[in-house]
Every structure is written in C-alpha cells, then in structure tokens.
A = this chain, B = another copy of it.
Amino acid sequence: MKLVTAVIKPHKWEEVREALAAAGVAGMTVTEASGYGQQKGHTEVYRGAEYDVSLVPKIRLEVVVDDADVESVVGTITSAAQTGKIGDGKVWVVPVESVVRVRTGETDEAAV
C-alpha cells in the first residue's frame, strides 16, 4: 500500500475528483492547505500599510492506494490538475505499512 499526497490548485479540485472517480478511486481525504514556492503570494494594502501575504491557497489530497495503482493514480492527478502555470503543485508517494477501515476493522487492500 502507498499513500499518495497531492497538493493542487483549489479550482482544480473538482476536475481531479472526477478524474480519480473515473479511474476507480473511491475514497480520499482532503485538507485545506497553503503553499509556498515559486508561485508568489500577493501584497495587500490597508490604510497605506503593505501586508505581504506570502502563501497561496492549495488543496491537499491524501489517497491510500494499492501498490499496483500508484502510477495510474499519480498520473491521473497530475494530468487533471495541470494548468501549465507556476504553482500547479506537487504529488509525492510514501510507503504505507498497514491500513484499517474503522467501521469494520478490515485491513490493507480490503480497507481502502
């Protein structure tokens, strides 16, 4: 089992979700995140004082997948989330040692 974590642009979320669903990924966990990278934040001015907002909003997805599906899932996310502009995000993969479905206690492949 692997854990695929993807950081994407928020307005791409809907497309990524649909692409993953089409690819048979039925579950994932999503968090709101902020990104720091080549894509710069912006400057706001309040009563003449400048505020640097250095972070940009991102969506962070976590999907636990079978080893066999890793490549396809990473590919699906990558192509669905791509706009070609700086700040499109990253996807990384981490090994998972075990998974449990809380409701049933099922583990590993059966739990995803």
Contacts and interface: CB of A to CB of B under 8 A. Distances in A.
Interface of A: 1-3, 5-8, 17, 26-38, 54-55, 58, 60, 62, 64, 74, 77-78, 81-103, 105, 111-112
Nearest to A97: B93
A77 to B, nearest CB: 8
Contacts of A8: 102
15 contacts: A17-B54, A27-B35, A29-B33, A30-B34, A31-B32, A31-B60, A78-B102, A78-B105, A83-B103, A90-B99, A90-B111, A91-B102, A92-B98, A94-B94, A95-B97
Nearest to A108: B92
Q: How many copies of the chain does the oligomer comprise?
A: 3
- The 6 A-B residue pairs whose C-beta atoms are closest, nearest first, are A27-B37, A88-B103, A88-B102, A92-B99, A91-B100, A89-B102
A69 to B, nearest CB: 14
Contact of A93 (B60, B83, B87, B96): B96
Contacts of A102: 6, 8, 77-78, 81-82, 88-91
